[in-house]
């Protein structure tokens, strides 16, 4: 069975985060699209409690992801894997950016 959804048709949470897990009927994988306004900064967080590792793929724009205090500059096409225990925060650059965020325990 397959499921298709256009992320733009899924209501955004917090301005620009489109959670697709439920819409795609995913059982073991979370997928989201994050649209960031210029200068936007995300909430610092980790996934130590749920054991979810994540991969952030920057599709367009430029941003910096701070992981465990280390700044990782991101350009379109870059993918960054983050351990569940690592604290992370996205800081967008001067233009709009779009990330695809994928996570699984």
Residue 105 lies in a domain: no
Domain count, the chain: 1
Angle subtended at Cα 80 by Cα 76 and Cα 8, rounded to the nearest 5 degrees: 55
Residue 29 lies in a domain: yes
Residue 56 CA to residue 31 CA, distance in Å, equals 10
Residue 105 has pLDDT above 90, yes or no: no
CATH assignment of the domain containing 49: 2.60.120.10
101 within a domain of the structure (yes/no):
no
Is it the case that residue 96 has pLDDT exceeding 90? yes
Residue 13 falls in which region: left (phi positive, over 0), alpha (psi -120 to 50) or beta:
beta
Instruction: Dump pLDDT digits (tens) for 31-70.
Output: 999 999 999 999 999 999 999 999 999 999 999 999 999 9
- What is the residue-averaged pLDDT of the chain? 95
Query: What global pTM score does this model have?
Result: 0.93
pLDDT at position 15 over 80:
no
Question: Is 104 a domain residue?
Answer: no
Domain assignment of residue 24, yes or no? yes
Tokens of 30: 């979370």
Cβ–Cβ under 8 Å, residues 53 and 85: no
Q: What is the pLDDT of residue 11?
A: 94
Domain around 54: 13-92
């Amino acid at each position: 069975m397959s499921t298709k959804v256009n992320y733009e048709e899924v209501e955004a949470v917090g301005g620009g985060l489109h959670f697709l897990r439920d819409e795609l009927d995913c059982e073991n994988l979370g997928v989201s699209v994050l649209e960031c306004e210029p200068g936007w900064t995300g909430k610092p967080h980790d996934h130590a409690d749920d054991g979810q590792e994540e991969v952030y793929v920057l599709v367009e724009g430029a941003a910096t992801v701070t992981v465990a205090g280390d700044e990782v500059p991101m350009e379109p096409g870059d993918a960054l894997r983050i351990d569940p225990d690592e604290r992370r925060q996205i800081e967008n650059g001067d233009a709009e950016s779009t990330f695809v965020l994928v996570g699984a325990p």
